[in-house]
Homo-oligomer: A and B are copies of this chain.
Amino acid sequence: MKIYTADLPLKSGAKIDLIDITGELFNCLSKSKVTDGVMIVYSPHTTTALIINENEPRLAGDIKIAVKDIISWEKDYAHNLIDSNAPSHIVAAFLGNTLNLPISEGKIELGTWQSVFLLELDGPRSRQVKVKIIGE
Instruction: Tell me if B135 and A46 are in contact (CB < 8 A).
Output: no
Residues of B within 8 A of A19 (CB): none
Residues of B within 8 A of A81 (CB): 58
Number of copies: 3
CB contact between A56 and one of B61, B69, B79 (< 8 Å): that residue: B79
Instruction: Tell me if A3 and B98 are in contact (CB < 8 A).
Output: no
Residues of B within 8 A of A113 (CB): 45-46
Instruction: Tell me if A46 and B114 are in contact (CB < 8 A).
Output: yes
Residues of B within 8 A of A134 (CB): 37-38, 134-135
CB contact between A36 and one of B3, B37, B77, B78 (< 8 Å): that residue: B3
**Residues of A20-38 whose CB lies within 8 A of B:** 36-38
For A49, the closest partner residue in chain B by CB is B94
Residues of A at the B interface (CB closer than 8 Å) are 1, 3, 5, 36-38, 40, 42-46, 51-54, 56, 58-59, 61-63, 65-66, 69-72, 75, 77-79, 81-82, 86-87, 89-90, 92-104, 109-114, 130-132, 134-136
